Amino acid sequence: MLSGCPADPVLKYCRSFPCRELAPGWLRERARLRHNGGSNSCRHPRMLIRPRQPFDFHRTLRFILGPPAQASGRKFEPLLDHFEEDEYRRVVELDGEQVLYGVREEGHALRARILAGPSSLEVLTAVRQLVERQFSVSLDLADFYRRVASDPVLSLLTRHFRGLRIPQSPNIFAAVVSAILDQQVNLAFAFHVKKALVESYGGHVERQGRRYFAFPSPAALAILSPRELQKIQISGPKARYIIAIARDVLDGRLDLEGLRAEEPAAAHARLLERKGIGPWTAFFVGLIALSHVDALPSGDVGLQSAIHSFYGLSRRPSPARVERLARNWSGWRSYATFYLWMTYWEMPEWRKEFIRQLKGDRDARKGFLAKS
């Protein structure tokens, strides 16, 4: 028998099934906790999500929670993404309301819950889908690992980073604006500007004396003038680009969420139509917000430098050379790029040891490059 809050829409939905076993697993789990006197509150239920293995929650979080320490020599305070009490937390806006959700690892599963905000059935479903997409839980990495098994560099990186997913932004608009703000500035300045933007124009949720910010909505930025954004050190051109994109999203001329359903090439082309979005920015948005697994930023300096260091090239490769090498990663070029990028999140000592290890198998690298 199901027990709990009589007005709880989730339990009401669960009761509607002719047999309890036909209800979704996360609903049955919640009913079990109710019946056993568990700690799930009526207001803030939890959901159990089982990612396809291999899956590494903590390695995936490293990219979300901050820039590479060795690139800046400093750490940055949490802005939108938090890790507290062994739980990842973030605020999103759903149907005009701020929702603070949390995700923690439990065995081979993820436990998601709403920490603050509405918890209707619609919100629960939206948060579950958001978490599943954010952590790419249904993606089969085994195909990627097989694809690069003969690559002397990536075969080692896939063992080191086993289970690492490309985390997806919960908010495509936030990904676009953040990518524009990151253009041609250093990490510290980009963080300073984003912090000012979020704290000036973003919503927030209060929980246990702590304030959690949400990224500003298109509506919040559409009504601004470039001069107002310039006051928080956003350049004039970037301010105009951001405001124009916000207004187009708000007016329905630009459907960012609709890009998820488009073919990657079409979505990339549509992003390039916007002022302020060049090839690299469009690639990055596709990588971290649209789940594009086979895109290649052949002109990216970080990727070129990693290839130069790890594949033993005499000089940094040209975009054309990167594209030739990347034929070996076909179908998974975004993931190959991301795994190479993530080496910058490792300590310098690890990178030195990794290069030393690669030098011990120089013939394998030469043979691989000769075929590329």
Active site residues: 300
| Burial track 17-32 (b if 16+ CB lie within 10 A, e otherwise) | eeeeeebbebbbbbbe
* Contact yes or no for 182/189 (Cβ under 8 A): no
Question: Tokens 């040209």 identify what position?
Answer: 318
Give the whole-angstrom CA distance, residue 299 versus residue 301.
6
Question: Tokens 């901050």 identify what position?
Answer: 66
Give the whole-angstrom CA distance, residue 245 versus residue 173.
9
Q: Sign of the CA dihedral 359, 365, 370, 372?
A: negative
Among candidate residues 63, 114, 67, the one with its CA nearest the CA of residue 87: 114
Report which secondary-structure segment, H or E, holds 94: strand 87-94
Give the whole-angstrom CA distance, residue 204 versus residue 212.
5
Give the whole-angstrom CA distance, residue 127 versus residue 105.
16
